[in-house]
Structure 1
């Protein structure tokens, strides 16, 4: 593993091999890092995430359209978790580095074909400008400083390369107000009452929510955030609002249709549920200008 990653490491970086993954120590982990390390470091919870999240045909179609052919390319997947992107898209990148803070998730990703690296996404031990493709899927909103992580991801992209992010909540769509906010705040009690929800236990639910730093009313990503940060760094930036059940058509401006509960949430918040600003997620496809 060290042989694969060594050409891309900053000079003087100390990397330890821990079982099936590499580790760059994080001396003062933030609360977000601790929560993500705990939740996605639980093998059963990480395996559930790999099986059930970001694995459908719409996800595959949308990401394939955004990335193109990544055969023989150097790819860095930040916040890779147990490896959902590669597990879904497959293919033959030249190098596939997966970065996360959860050991068990990295072990699963290693089995899928990643070169896994435990590291802080705000301070990566990697050189600048070497990656053909950098991806962040459902990753930014798990981080306390989304802009710092996005800027660090952009640093890795080579001229002519791509930076692609997706599945972070669009701030304007999740900014519930009035009755919608009350219903949002009460949803956990409702799930407990009906015995239905993705998480099987209260403990699993507690830690899952602890990782969702910016997935709550008033939080999320915006088009301006991507354009204002990446544009000055030398990227052409396209941002595509979408609901989750839409594939490659998202890159043609199609929003797809959100589940009824989200449409009701927007209506109760005084918004048009069919507007671009009411779409649940933003996909950012940014290409770095060639020198």
Structure 2
């Protein structure tokens, strides 16, 4: 599908194997790590199969975004297409479904699901302002070098009356481990070296998986204040919902669910109430652009 009417004037691009490729001016370590990890055929397929595919995820996102029929949807950091793979049977068929990523292999997977694949840097998107009904960033911000800048770029694309949704970025306060919890966090890397890998199949996959999640560590993560300070000046009504990944639409009613024992223990050892909103693993942001 031709997307030239959605692009900034004078922008240069190449069409390679039906993928729209735009110049990336600065290849940071974060960008290179994401390109390497998500360009691996086996790892990308595994990510598509197992991540963000649960019924609770579907319920939460369907409630947050509503119907996509005949709308322009831009999925920033789409990876192999997990969002639409999970929601396609309940949200309808968009007019444009654009997937933005830096890994050609993942974009190829996404294209097979119906995405228009766009290879570009999320910090400098080639699109005109105010073109999208729905802009989504799922588990994307914490993979980016400058989270504020990417969020601003995403906000720029939303038309009046449109919506921006983010999810699955670690909440700063929940992951800011201290004391014993911080020692245990650091020790996990030694444990990975001993057993050869962590939750991934190989040590190489583990290495690059950790490398591309550059803001998923103690002292990093997103805050409610970040979403409000970036989005409200651009005319958004901002709602932020802390949660622990295991609830669906209930999250949007203020329920956050209960984290696994190891995360609750980490917050106890850090001197925090594991049942407080500050201890919820993730912040979901649902921001409406005022008409």
Shared fold, TM over 0.5 = yes
Aligned to 1:221: 222
Is 1:245 aligned to 2:246, yes or no? yes
Contact 2:196 2:203 in 1 (8 A): no
- Taking only aligned residues, the RMSD between alpha carbons, in angstroms, comes to 1.1
Q: Where do 1:168-247 residues align within 5 Å? A: 168-191=169-192, 193=194, 197-247=198-248
Once the two structures are superposed, residues 77-105 of structure 1 have per-residue CA deviations (whole angstroms, 9 ceiling, x without a partner) of 00000000000000311110000001100
Aligned to 2:18: 20
* Cα distance, 1:28 vs structure 2: 2.3
**SS state at 2:273 partner:** coil
Q: Name structure 1 gaps, 5 residues minimum.
A: none
CA distance in 2, matches of 1:156, 1:276: 30
* Cα distance, 1:192 vs structure 2: 5.1
CA distance in 1, matches of 2:204, 2:218: 23
Is 1:53 aligned to 2:51, yes or no? yes
Aligned to 1:262: 263
List 4+ stretches of structure 1 deviating above 6 A. Answer: none
Contact 2:71 2:133 in 1 (8 A): yes
Contact 1:175 1:216 in 2 (8 A): yes
CA distance in 2, matches of 1:135, 1:169: 16
Once the two structures are superposed, residues 225-273 of structure 1 have per-residue CA deviations (whole angstroms, 9 ceiling, x without a partner) of 0011100110000000000111100000001111110000000000000
Is 1:139 aligned to 2:148, yes or no? no
* Cα distance, 1:191 vs structure 2: 4.3
Is 1:37 aligned to 2:35, yes or no? yes
* Cα distance, 1:193 vs structure 2: 4.5
* Cα distance, 1:19 vs structure 2: 1.0
* Cα distance, 1:196 vs structure 2: 6.9
* Cα distance, 1:71 vs structure 2: 1.1
Aligned to 2:8: 10
Once the two structures are superposed, residues 152-175 of structure 1 have per-residue CA deviations (whole angstroms, 9 ceiling, x without a partner) of 000000000000000000000000
* Cα distance, 1:195 vs structure 2: 6.7
* Cα distance, 1:150 vs structure 2: 0.1
CA distance in 2, matches of 1:32, 1:253: 33
Contact 1:20 1:107 in 2 (8 A): no
CA distance in 2, matches of 1:286, 1:261: 31
Provide TM-score, normalisation by structure 1: 0.97
Contact 2:99 2:117 in 1 (8 A): yes
Contact 1:78 1:100 in 2 (8 A): yes
Once the two structures are superposed, residues 91-133 of structure 1 have per-residue CA deviations (whole angstroms, 9 ceiling, x without a partner) of 3111100000011000100011000100111111100001000
* Cα distance, 1:184 vs structure 2: 0.8
Q: Where do 1:64-213 residues align within 5 Å? A: 64-90=62-88, 91-191=92-192, 193=194, 197-213=198-214
Once the two structures are superposed, residues 171-219 of structure 1 have per-residue CA deviations (whole angstroms, 9 ceiling, x without a partner) of 0000000110111111133345467732111111111111011000010
Q: Tell me how many residue pairs correspond in the alignment.
A: 288
Provide TM-score, normalisation by structure 2: 0.97
